Structure 1
Amino acid sequence: MFNAEDLVFIEERGSDLSTVKEQVKNFEKGFPFMEIIQAATVGKGIIQLNEEHANQFIDFLNHKLEHGISLLKFVPASGAASRMFKDLFSAKSKLESGETEAKVLQEKSVNYFFDNLKKFAFYTEFEKLASQPVEQLSALEVLDLVLTEKGLNYGSLPKGLLTFHQYSDDCRTAFEEHCAEGAQYAKDKAGQVKIHFTVSPEHQDAFEAHLKAIRSKYEQAFEVQYDIQFSQQKPSTDTLAVDMNNQPFRNGDSSLLFRPGGHGALLENLNDLDADLIFIKNIDNVVPDYLKEDTTKYKKALAGLLLNYQKRIFSYQQILDERHYTALDSKFYAEASSFLENILNVKPPTSHYYSEKEELYHYLKEKFNRPIRVCGMVKNEGEPGGGPFWAKNRDGSVSLQVVESSQIDLQNKEQQSIVSQATHFNPVDLICGIKNYRGEKYNLLTYRDPQTGFISYKSKDGKELKAQELPGLWNGAMADWNTLFVEVPITTFNPVKTVNDLLRKEHQPD
Structure 2
Amino acid sequence: MIDLSQRDLEQLEKKGISKEKVFNQIETFKEGIPFVKLVRAAVVSDGILRFSEEEQVDLVQYFEDSRGTLDLLKFVPASGAASRMFKAMFNFLEVYDSSKETLAEYIDRTGDKAVKQLSEKMTSLPFYELIMDRIKDKGANKDEEVYLFVKEMLVADGLNYGFYPKGLLPFHKYGSTRVTPFQEHLKEAALYAKTDGNANLHFTISEQHDEMFKKEHVEVSPKVSKATDTVFRISYSNQKPSTDTIAVDMENKPFKNSDGSILFRPGGHGALIENLNDQDADVIFIKNIDNVVVDKNLETVANSKKMLAGVLLKAQSKAFEYAKALNNENISSAQIETIKRFLEKELNVRFSENHDQMSFEEQVSALKDKINRPIRVCGMVKNEGEPGGGPFWVSDTNANVSLQIIESAQIDMNNEQQAATLKNSTHFNPVDLICGVRNHKGEKYKLLDFVDPKQGFITGKTQEGKELKALELPGLWNGAMAFWNTIFVEVPLVTFNPVKTVNDLLKSTHQA
TM over 0.5: yes
**Residue 264 of structure 2 is aligned to residue 261 of structure 1:** no
Distance in 2 (CA, whole Å) between partners of 1:131 and 1:15 is 53
Distance verdict in 2 for CA 1:408–1:217, change over 3 Å: same
Give unpaired runs (5+ residues) of structure 1. none
SS of 1:506's equivalent in the other structure is helix
**Which residue matches 1:23?**
25
* Identity %, equivalent residues: 48
- Displacement of 1:87 in angstroms is 0.7
Asked whether the equivalents of residues 127 and 134 of structure 1 are also in contact (C-alpha less than 8 Å), the reply is: no
- 3-state SS of paired residue (2:163): coil
Asked whether the equivalents of residues 101 and 139 of structure 1 are also in contact (C-alpha less than 8 Å), the reply is no
**Shift of residue 99 of structure 1?**
5.9
User: Deviation per CA, 1:86-110, whole angstroms, max 9, x where unpaired?
Assistant: 1111111102698634343442210
1 CA distance for matches of 2:360 and 2:354? 17
Residue type matched to 1:129 in 2?
R
Cα distance in 2 for residues equivalent to 1:280 and 1:25: 32
Q: How far has the Cα of 1:397 moved from its partner?
A: 2.4
In 2, distance between residues paired with 1:310 and 1:99?
Answer: 66
Q: Kindly provide the amino acid, as one letter, of the partner of residue 192 in structure 2.
A: Y
Q: Distance in 2 between matches of 1:28 and 1:97?
A: 51
1:260-295 CA-to-partner distances (Å, cap 9, x unmatched) read 000000000000001100000011111100012221
Structure 2 partner of 1:110: 115
Once the two structures are overlaid, the 10-residue window that deviates more, 203-212 or 411-420, is 411-420
- For residues 146 and 301 of structure 1, what CA distance do their matches in structure 2 show? 39
* Alignment match, 2:137: 132
2: CA distance, partners of 1:57 / 1:237 = 38
Q: Which residue, 409, 428, 432 being the options, matches 1:429?
A: 432
Rounded Cα–Cα distance in structure 2 between residues aligned with 1:259 and 1:490:
35
Distance 1:116 1:140 in 2: 14
DSSP 3-state at the match of 2:67: helix
> Superposed, which structure 2 residues align to 1:95-174 within 5 Å?
95=96, 100-102=101-103, 103-106=105-108, 107-130=112-135, 132=137, 137-174=144-181
Counterparts of 1:96 and 1:366, CA distance in 2: 64
Identify the residue that residue 415 of structure 2 maps to in structure 1.
412
Q: Distance in 2 between matches of 1:462 and 1:99?
A: 33
Partners of 1:237 and 1:261 within 8 A in 2 = yes
Q: 1:207 aligns with which of 194, 210, 213?
A: 213
Structure 2 SS opposite 1:121:
coil
What is the TM-score when the length of structure 1 is the normalising length?
A: 0.96
> Would the aligned equivalents of 1:164 and 1:173 in 2 still touch at CA under 8 Å?
yes
Q: Which one of 37, 43, 46 corresponds to residue 44 of structure 1?
A: 46
Which deviates more, 406-415 or 97-106?
97-106
Contact 2:458 2:470 in 1 (8 A): yes
Classify 1:12/1:101 alpha carbon distance in 2 versus 1 (closer, same or farther; 3 Å): farther
> 1:392-426, CA deviations, whole angstroms, 9 ceiling, x for partnerless residues?
23553212111111112222222122111110010
Contact 1:91 / 1:104 at 8 angstroms: preserved in 2? no
> 1:383 corresponds to which residue?
386
For these two proteins, the number of residue pairs brought into alignment is 504
Residue 57 of structure 1 corresponds to 59
Q: Does the CA contact (< 8 Å) of 1:187 and 1:193 recur in 2?
A: yes
d(CA) in 1 for partners of 2:73, 2:139: 43
Pick the aligned partner of 1:341 from 330, 340, 344. 344
Query: What is the CA-CA distance between 1:169 and the residue it aligns to?
Result: 3.9
Cα deviation digits, residues 65-99 of structure 1 (max 9, x gap) = 13x10100011010311111111111111026986
CA contact (8 A) 1:71 1:278 kept: yes
Does residue 242 of the first structure (1) align with residue 253 of the second (2)?
no
**2:355–2:363: 8 Å Cα contact kept in structure 1?**
no
Displacement after TM superposition at 1:130 (Å): 2.6
The answer on whether the counterparts of 1:350 and 1:396 sit within 8 Å (CA) in structure 2 is no
Structure 1 stretch displaced more, 353-362 or 127-136? 127-136
What is the SS of the residue equivalent to 1:116?
helix
Which residue does the alignment assign to 1:93?
Answer: 94
User: What residue number does 1:401 align with?
Assistant: 404
Amino acid at match of 2:133: K
Match of 2:198 in 1: 192
Could you tell me whether the CA contact under 8 Å between 1:38 and 1:390 is conserved in 2?
yes
Matching residue of 2:375? 372
Contact 2:249 2:468 in 1 (8 A): yes
Give the TM-score of the pair, scaled to structure 2. Answer: 0.96
What secondary structure, in the 3-state scheme, does the structure 1 residue paired with 2:161 have? coil
CA RMSD after TM alignment: 1.6
Distance 1:395 1:57 in 2: 36
Cα 1:101/1:257, change in 2 over 3 Å: farther
- Contact 2:12/2:19 (<8 A) preserved: yes
3-state DSSP of counterpart to 2:434: strand
Partner of 1:320: 326
Q: Is the 8 A contact 2:348 2:402 kept in 1?
A: yes
The 1:331–1:351 alpha-carbon spacing in structure 2 relative to 1, beyond 3 Å, is closer
Instruction: State the Cα distance separating 1:139 from its structure 2 match.
Output: 3.9
Aligned to 2:289: 283
Aligned AA for 1:31? I
- Give matches, 1:453-472, under 5 Å: 453-472=456-475
Give 5+ residue unaligned stretches, structure 2: none
